[in-house]
Amino acid sequence: MSTYKHVETGKRFFFIHIPRTGGRFVESNLDAQGWVWDDKVDVDRQYKSVDGVEVAHFHKEYYEKHLDVENIPHVCIIRNPIDRFISASIYLKHLYGDDIQELMEDPMYFFSMLENYPCTESVNWYRSQLDFLSDKTHVWRFEDGLGENFSNWLSDIVGVPVTMDQKVKYSKQDYESNKLDKTPALIDNIKSLYRKEIGQLYPELATP
């Protein structure tokens, strides 16, 4: 989550980084194209927590409270909540252990394990995407790709040409591929967790 400033033009915009939506890829491209963290934001705090939440993944209540984001464009990428949860499940397996598939398929254990998630500063990995958005947020769907169309869309909003290098390097966890299996039982639990979000952002996923 960054308030970006373009070195040459002085243009500023706010990138709302919802976890597991391609944010590291986008930020790495911005870093390589003349965008820097605004000097009003403490860069060293990005992956530290404030009020118990990572600065890098502040939701609306927190970024409006702690960051200088007034009167600049807000940009955000959203993602199919089922796929996003499966992607974020690498952290559940890392913290709870590899043998949690059956527990996460049980509704009682599923919600209990999330409610008692031990890494509290990173709880926003599983927060509803609705909590990150406001009526001023420009929203792009991850499923529409992060290529040329996304670059053109972002360029129009921020007022500076931006391109996405698909080969850009960005940090990854060693356990990125160690995810939960997308089974019907787990999908049912995820849909229950994100029922409101699905209804507003991805109604095509709603259970009939």
Backbone angles phi, psi at 80, to 5 degrees: -40, 115
pTM (whole model) above 0.85: yes
pLDDT in tens, 45-84: 555 777 777 778 899 999 998 888 999 999 999 999 999 9
- Region 144-173: mean pLDDT is 94
| pLDDT value of residue 60 | 95
Domain boundaries, the chain: 2-205
Q: What is the average pLDDT across 172-176? A: 80
40 pLDDT higher than 70:
no
**How far is Cα 189 from Cα 206, in angstroms, rounded to an integer?**
12
Q: What is the model's pLDDT at position 42?
A: 53
User: To the nearest whole number, what is the mean pLDDT of the chain?
Assistant: 91
Q: Are 179 and 89 in contact (CB under 8 A)?
A: yes
Q: Which CATH class is domain 2-205?
A: alpha beta
Query: Counting beta carbons within 10 angstroms of the beta carbon of residue 28, is it exposed (0 to 12), middle (13 to 18) or buried (19 or more)?
Result: middle
Sign of torsion over alpha carbons 10, 163, 1, 74:
positive
| 99-140 pLDDT per residue, tens | 999 999 999 999 999 998 887 767 889 999 999 999 999 999
